[in-house]
C-alpha cells in the first residue's frame, strides 16, 4: 500500500501554480512594473526640444557662424554651403546636452552682489551660442571660464541675471562645433 505524502505532492502543485501564473500573465497582457526605474525628465536650460531647433549661431571673439537645419539631423551654413561631419555631430550633441543636462549650481543675482565676477570669464566668453526654434523663439548662452577645480564652467543666459555652473563638457561641445567649421 502506498501512503499519502504531502512532500511528494508539493513539487507538482508548485509547478502547476507557476504555470497558472504564467498563463494568467499571458492572457491578461500585464507585464511586471519596474518600480525602481525613474522616468527621464530633461532638466537643461534649453526649453526647446533638440529636434525643434531650427537655427544655431556660434560666436567667439569677432568670428560668428550661423547654421540652419535642413531635413533630419542635417545642418548647412546660413548662406549656403556644407558643414563638416564632425561639426554636425558636435552641434547635435551640444543642443541635446543643453536641453537635457541641468546646471550643477545656480547663483542668483543677490548672491553675486558685491562679488567681482570678472574671473568667471563671462564678459569675454569662450563661446556664445544662440539657439532658435520655430517661430523665432531663441536662447543665447555665454560660456566663460572653468571653475577653479576645472570640472565646471560658468555660463550666463542673456536676459537672466543668474550665473550657472554647468558641466564643462557642454561648453566644450559648442566650442568644438565652432572650431570644426572652416572660416568663411
CATH topology of domain 50-179: Immunoglobulin-like (2.60.40)
Rounded to whole angstroms, how far apart are CA atoms 50 and 130?
13
Rounded to whole angstroms, how far apart are CA atoms 105 and 91?
24
User: What does pTM read for this prediction?
Assistant: 0.76
Instruction: Average the pLDDT over 77-97 and give the result.
Output: 89
DSSP 55: E
* pLDDT of 184 strictly over 60: no
pLDDT in tens, 112-133: 999 899 999 999 999 999 999 9
The SS3 assignment for 100 reads helix
Domains in the chain: boundaries: 50-179
Residue with more model confidence, 82 or 96: 96
Percent of the chain topping pLDDT 70: 93
pLDDT in tens, 42-79: 889 999 999 999 999 999 988 899 999 887 768 889 88
User: Tell me, what's the pLDDT at 183?
Assistant: 59
User: Which cell numbers in the block locate residue 153?
Assistant: 564652467
In the 3-class helix/strand/coil scheme, how is 63-77 assigned residue by residue? EEEEEEEECCCEEEE
* pLDDT of 134 strictly over 90: no
pLDDT in tens, 4-31: 677 778 888 899 999 998 888 888 876 6
User: Tell me, what's the pLDDT at 42?
Assistant: 81
User: Tell me, what's the pLDDT at 43?
Assistant: 86
Helix, strand, coil percentages in the chain from 3-state DSSP, rounded to 5 = 35, 30, 40
Amino acid at each position: 500500500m502506498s501512503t499519502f505524502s504531502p512532500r511528494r505532492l508539493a513539487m507538482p502543485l508548485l509547478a502547476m501554480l507557476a504555470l497558472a501564473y504564467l498563463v494568467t500573465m499571458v492572457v491578461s497582457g500585464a507585464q511586471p512594473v519596474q518600480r525602481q526605474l525613474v522616468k527621464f525628465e530633461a532638466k537643461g536650460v534649453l526649453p526647446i526640444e533638440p529636434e525643434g531647433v531650427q537655427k544655431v549661431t556660434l560666436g567667439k571673439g569677432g568670428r560668428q557662424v550661423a547654421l540652419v537645419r535642413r531635413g533630419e539631423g542635417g545642418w548647412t551654413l546660413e548662406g549656403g554651403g556644407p558643414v563638416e561631419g564632425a561639426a554636425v555631430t558636435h552641434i547635435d550633441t551640444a543642443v541635446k546636452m543643453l536641453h537635457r543636462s541641468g546646471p550643477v549650481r545656480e547663483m542668483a543675482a543677490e548672491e553675486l552682489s558685491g562679488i567681482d565676477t570678472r574671473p568667471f570669464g563671462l564678459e569675454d566668453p569662450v563661446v556664445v551660442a544662440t539657439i532658435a526654434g520655430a517661430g523665432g523663439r531663441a536662447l543665447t548662452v555665454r560660456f566663460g571660464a572653468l571653475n577653479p577645480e576645472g570640472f565646471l564652467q560658468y555660463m550666463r543666459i542673456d536676459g537672466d541675471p543668474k550665473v550657472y555652473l554647468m558641466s564643462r563638457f557642454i561648453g566644450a561641445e559648442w566650442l568644438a562645433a565652432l572650431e570644426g567649421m572652416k572660416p568663411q
